């Protein structure tokens, strides 16, 4: 499997059955919110792009249906070809009507909407052009001026009719929604609003506020609020607009789905992309008895991936991409290849998340100490004791292999041998460990790698070359 299939099969009566992130409890919270308030309101589910909002929304939508709610699920991004946002919203609401049955309340709402949204400009411009083709510029200008005056006068005369139509539209729409009420509000879910054309996204918000503020209908906006804020500024042509304050005009309640359980998701992706077919192939399993690093590689691979994803705050979409690419690069490794998850995982992740750091290493720009500093700067949040121990191991592998890659013909070993006591001593210190004596985890790992003669400069270069085999592929 190369690409993660985002379209999860959602089963009626058990929509969260295949949810890998244990998110049904959040759907229950939201269902309780929309059930509690009968008056119409707007709920925003605000999470960054790539956090699985769309899958969650689809599952929750089915869960609502299973519990007797009438719902509309509208992907705004897929439908922003429709210039008139009101047309799109009413078109989606029409799905609640029974086929071949005319609903008089819905029909009345449509008729009133046609009155107050009527755009006269294109028709009038066409009429003016047709009338004045072939005449002089002055004649055209005079004619257009007269026509514009007529337009203004007509607009003023129609103002009262439009205002009346808006009121009647809301009344008809309220009656239509009441027909579908059944003790539960209609839930109108709008997904991908932040990915639409900016003018269309803002138009959707404006239409909801001005025309759909009626009882018994709840609008749910699935958004990345920061991106939607950029759209607002773009429409109004100013970076100084307080987009957050602007959006408060439209959003009554804001909810963010809590961060997913990284442990569960990494294990899911590990199985989804079939890593076992590489790590557990019969020929590789035979190496486990004689080579410690082979026996522990699966455990190390999963633990290190979880640790780095968690502390670098890698989004779900990025996690999928990284583990997909890493699995593809494994195809270039033969069954008895030394992999060292401490190295393989780290470089697959930073190549995707911090290309500048990756190429500093690739191009041997950093000294070993500078490498350690940049590596340590990645992990600024608080570490548990277990996480800190694991990072020391990753750090030791990284500096050992980089040192040999950085100066393949040099003799600058990271260890110094105390001949008198026949003990190794460190020339450098770990950035995650204060203790440098013989109980140092950092020291023990470097001694192990040194004694096993693992670490020619060719090893790291070979790993980087294999990771970069995918460079030519475009998404």
Give tens-digit pLDDT for 2-37.
556 655 779 999 999 988 888 999 999 999 999 987
Answer for the pair 312, 44: CB distance below 8 angstroms, yes or no.
no
- Residue 415's beta-bridge partner residues? 426
Radius of gyration from C-alpha coordinates of the chain: 31
C-alpha 343/C-alpha 394 separation (Å) is: 7
In a domain, 423, yes or no: no
pLDDT value at residue 397: 92
pLDDT band at 149 (very low <50, low <70, confident <90, very high): low
Q: What is the DSSP letter of 340?
A: T
The first and second tokens of residue 56, run together, are 């969650």
C-alpha 278/C-alpha 332 separation (Å) is: 11
Reported residue count of the chain is 475
CATH number of residue 46's parent domain = 3.40.50
Answer for the pair 416, 425: CB distance below 8 angstroms, yes or no.
yes
In a domain, 314, yes or no: yes
pLDDT value at residue 127: 40
In a domain, 57, yes or no: yes
Q: Are residues 241 and 327 in the same domain?
A: no
pLDDT tens digits, one per residue of 321-363: 999 999 999 998 988 888 889 999 999 999 999 999 999 999 9
C-alpha 237/C-alpha 250 separation (Å) is: 20
pLDDT value at residue 471: 67
In a domain, 420, yes or no: no
Answer for the pair 375, 395: CB distance below 8 angstroms, yes or no.
yes
C-alpha 447/C-alpha 424 separation (Å) is: 8
Domain boundary among 255, 277, 310: 255
Q: Which residues contact 42 (CB under 8 A, 6 or more apart)?
A: 208, 218, 219, 220, 221, 250, 251, 252, 253
In a domain, 352, yes or no: yes
Q: Identify which has the larger pLDDT, 31 or 131.
A: 31
Domain boundary among 239, 255, 271: 255
pLDDT band at 439 (very low <50, low <70, confident <90, very high): confident
Pick the closest to residue 326 from 285, 275, 279, 361 (CA basis): 275
The first and second tokens of residue 267, run together, are 């294990």
Q: Are residues 267 and 237 in the same domain?
A: no
Q: Are residues 378 and 301 in the same domain?
A: yes
In sequence order, what E strands does 57-216 have?
71-75, 186-191
Q: Are residues 64 and 196 in the same domain?
A: yes
Q: Are residues 202 and 270 in the same domain?
A: no
pLDDT value at residue 57: 95
Q: Are residues 63 and 40 in the same domain?
A: yes
The first and second tokens of residue 210, run together, are 């001005």
- Residue 222's beta-bridge partner residues? 45
- On the question of pLDDT at 140 being above 50, the answer is no
Domain with 306, as residue range(s), is 262-407+456-472
C-alpha 459/C-alpha 259 separation (Å) is: 37
Mean pLDDT, range 68-86, rounded to an integer:
89
In a domain, 422, yes or no: no
pLDDT value at residue 418: 66
* Whole-prediction pTM: 0.75
DSSP codes of every residue in 208-256: HHHH---TTEEEEEEE-HHHHHHHHHHHHT-TTS-HHHHHHTT-SEEE-
Q: Which residues contact 204 (CB under 8 A, 6 or more apart)?
A: 76, 85, 88, 89, 190, 193, 196
Q: Are residues 204 and 278 in the same domain?
A: no
**Residues 390, 394, 396: CA angle, nearest 5 degrees:** 115
Q: What is the DSSP letter of 188?
A: E
- On the question of pLDDT at 116 being above 80, the answer is no
- The number of distinct structural domains making up the chain is 2
Mean pLDDT, range 243-258, rounded to an integer:
93
In a domain, 138, yes or no: no
Pick the closest to residue 219 from 73, 380, 47 (CA basis): 73
Percent of the chain with pLDDT over 70: 84
In a domain, 441, yes or no: no
Q: Are residues 199 and 241 in the same domain?
A: yes
C-alpha 149/C-alpha 53 separation (Å) is: 50
Pick the closest to residue 472 from 325, 336, 350, 312 (CA basis): 325
C-alpha 323/C-alpha 121 separation (Å) is: 54
C-alpha 345/C-alpha 206 separation (Å) is: 47
Q: Are residues 56 and 117 in the same domain?
A: yes
C-alpha 225/C-alpha 257 separation (Å) is: 13
Domain boundary among 211, 232, 255: 255
In sequence order, what E strands does 152-228 have?
186-191, 217-223
Q: Are residues 180 and 279 in the same domain?
A: no
Q: Are residues 187 and 312 in the same domain?
A: no
Q: Are residues 201 and 250 in the same domain?
A: yes
């Amino acid at each position: 499997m190369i690409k993660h299939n985002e379209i999860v099969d959602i089963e009626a009566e058990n929509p969260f059955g295949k949810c890998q992130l244990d998110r049904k409890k959040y759907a229950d919270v939201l269902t309780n919110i929309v059930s509690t308030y009968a008056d119409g309101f707007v709920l925003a589910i605000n999470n960054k792009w790539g956090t699985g909002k769309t899958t969650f929304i689809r599952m929750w939508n089915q869960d609502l249906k299973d519990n007797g709610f009438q719902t509309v699920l509208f992907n705004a991004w897929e439908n922003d070809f429709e210039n008139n946002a009101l047309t799109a919203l009413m078109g989606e609401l029409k799905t609640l009507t029974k086929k071949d049955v005319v609903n008089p309340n819905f029909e009345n709402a449509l008729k009133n909407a046609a009155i107050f949204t009527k755009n006269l400009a294109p028709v009038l411009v066409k009429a003016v052009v047709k009338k004045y083709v072939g005449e002089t510029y002055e004649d055209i200008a005079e004619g257009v001026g007269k026509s514009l005056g007529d337009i203004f006068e007509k607009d003023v005369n129609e103002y009262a009719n439009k205002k009346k139509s808006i009121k009647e539209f809301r009344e008809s729409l309220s009656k239509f929604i009441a027909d579908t009420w059944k003790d539960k509000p209609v839930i109108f879910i709008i997904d991908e609003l932040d990915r639409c054309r900016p003018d269309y996204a803002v138009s959707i918000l404006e239409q909801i506020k001005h025309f759909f503020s009626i009882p018994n209908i709840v609008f749910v906006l699935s958004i990345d609020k920061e991106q939607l804020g950029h759209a607002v500024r773009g429409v109004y042509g100013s970076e100084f607009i307080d987009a957050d304050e602007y959006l408060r005009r439209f959003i009554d309640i804001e909810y963010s789905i809590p961060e997913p359980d990284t442990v569960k998701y990494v294990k899911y992706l590990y199985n989804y992309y079939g890593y076992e077919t590489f790590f557990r192939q019969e020929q590789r399993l035979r190496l486990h008895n004689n080579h410690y690093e082979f026996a522990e590689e699966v455990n190390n691979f999963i633990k290190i991936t979880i640790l780095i994803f968690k502390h670098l705050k890698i989004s779900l979409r990025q996690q999928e991409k990284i583990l997909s690419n890493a699995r593809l690069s494994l195809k270039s490794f033969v069954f008895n290849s030394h992999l060292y998850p401490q190295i393989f995982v780290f470089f697959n992740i930073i190549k995707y998340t911090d290309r500048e750091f990756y190429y500093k290493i690739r191009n041997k720009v950093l000294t070993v100490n500078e490498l350690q500093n940049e590596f340590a700067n990645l992990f600024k949040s608080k570490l548990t004791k277990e996480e800190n121990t694991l990072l020391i191991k990753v750090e030791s592998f990284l500096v050992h292999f980089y040192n040999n890659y950085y100066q393949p013909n040099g003799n600058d070993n990271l260890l110094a041998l105390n001949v008198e006591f026949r003990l190794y001593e460190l020339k450098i210190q770990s950035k995650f460990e204060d203790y440098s004596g013989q109980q140092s985890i950092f020291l023990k790992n470097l001694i192990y790698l040194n004694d096993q003669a693992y670490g020619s400069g060719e090893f790291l270069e070979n790993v980087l070359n294999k990771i970069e085999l995918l460079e030519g592929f475009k998404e």
